[in-house]
Amino acid sequence: MGSIDTSNLKIGFIAGGQLAKMLIQKASQWDLETYILDPDNRCASQGLTNHFMQGDFKDENTVYNFGKQVDILTFEIESINVNGLKRLVKEGVKVIPHPDILEMIQDKGLQKTFFEKHHFPTAAFRYFDDKSDIIKSINEGSLTFPFVQKARKGGYDGRGVSIIHSQNDLENILDTPSVVEEAVSIAKEISVIVARNKQGEIQSFPIVEMIFDPKANLVKELACPAKISIEQEKKARDIAHQLIEKMDMVGLLAIEFFIDTKGDIFINEMAPRPHNSGHHTIESNITSQYEQLLRAVLDMPLGSTKMLSPAVMINLLGDPNHEGAVHYENLEKVMAIEGAHVHLYGKKITRPFRKMGHVTITDNNLENALAKAEKIHQLLKVTSWKTDR
Ligand SMILES: Nc1ncnc2c1ncn2[C@@H]1O[C@H](COP(=O)(O)OP(=O)(O)OP(=O)(O)O)[C@@H](O)[C@H]1O
Ligand SMILES: [Mg+2]
């Protein structure tokens, strides 16, 4: 670890959404010069960054030209043109995490193969080329219901995932290269965020429990610490540490797990970037996930992940019946609740289920935090002045 002068470093982020916004706030604290690439010139971090480039991060030359301006490049999204990143690495730009890791993670099939090859627990799976390939296997009897189909590439927030329970769901089968997994009888979904720096130092955050909104198929709220046994906690954290080490990865890795009804742990998927399940660390841990990623990419010692207090995080989703200029109802009532920390991402237009912000509730007692979260769910609505359905 040499001498690091953050004041003279240029750091680039692809893209400029809410995760970048929270990263930039910490980067600014350390006087880093920040660069953002995003197709939307009204993205969440546009007003905060020192330099903004409007452009498509799926385009090789755009990624390359953006990256040439900075010393260090990292990302908050996965769907980036990897060839552009690889060219930058060849020309001496520090792209962290390494584009080879991003390339593997972009493909859910390659992820699953990686887990299997290194004996990490994950639901059994097969590859399929297209819909007709799946139908053929069902007809032959080699594929039985229920199963979970996932597009190998391009899915997010549950798009690209189809749960097929019976013949009645056949129309929901996606016609794209996919992995088909055994359906796990899920008792809980948890997440572990782990970081590793160049020296090989590894730190993971206390485990988070995800609670889903079945209608939106998005995380409704999450709670930390997760209500799981000490053995399950140890197992999940051990797997996270082994995984980031096995990938020889520098950066931040979020790993989603299932715990099944028998109590066994399976890896679902991973993301090599800050994650929705780590927002609360801003207020509830000594080091936030955003600071930890910056520490890792800057080749700094990692920070302590110790919890300062339990926390619940709720996503502020656009009301299903509203679309248009955004309005936050009852914000002042939420602000009056002790330990409620409101984050608005700055998206000017709300749409049904759009992620508009989040609230983290810290309380020394997790049950109190959950009760406050319920109250905030009732109070805070993301609507539009114009109610055009
Ligand atoms: N094998 C499985 N068995 C049962 N349920 C599953 C399985 N795989 C996924 N699911 C359910 O589908 C959800 C979405 O799956 P996954 O996390 O792979 O998709 P995603 O599009 O990457 O979602 P996100 O971006 O929200 O993380 C999971 O959180 C889980 O509830
Ligand atoms: Mg997921």
Residue 353: pLDDT band with limits 50, 70, 90: confident
CB within 8 A of 214, min separation 6: which ones?
none
**Phi-psi sector, 375: left (phi>0), alpha (psi -120 to 50), beta:** alpha
Closest ligand 1 atom number to CA of residue 181: 1
Task: For residue 209, give the nearest of 181, 239, 236, 182 by alpha carbon.
Answer: 236
* Closest residue by CA, ligand 1 atom 24: 157
Q: How many angstroms does the Cα of residue 256 sit away from the middle of ligand 2? A: 6
**Is pTM, for the whole model, over 0.85?**
yes
Q: pLDDT per residue over 67-126, tens digit each?
A: 999 999 999 999 999 999 999 999 999 999 999 999 999 999 999 999 999 999 999 999
Residue nearest to atom 25 of ligand 1 (CA): 157
* Distance from the alpha carbon of residue 219 to the mean position of ligand 2, in angstroms: 9
Residue 81: Cβ within 10 Å count: 19
187 CB near ligand 1 (under 6 Å):
no
Q: Kindly state if the Cβ of 86 falls inside 6 Å of ligand 1.
A: no
23 pLDDT band (50/70/90 cuts)? Answer: very high
Share of the chain above pLDDT 90, in %: 92
Average pLDDT over residues 209-227: 83
Distance 269 CA to ligand 2 centre (A): 6
User: In testing the pocket of ligand 1, which one of 145, 161, 179 has its CB within 8 Å of the most ligand atoms?
Assistant: 161
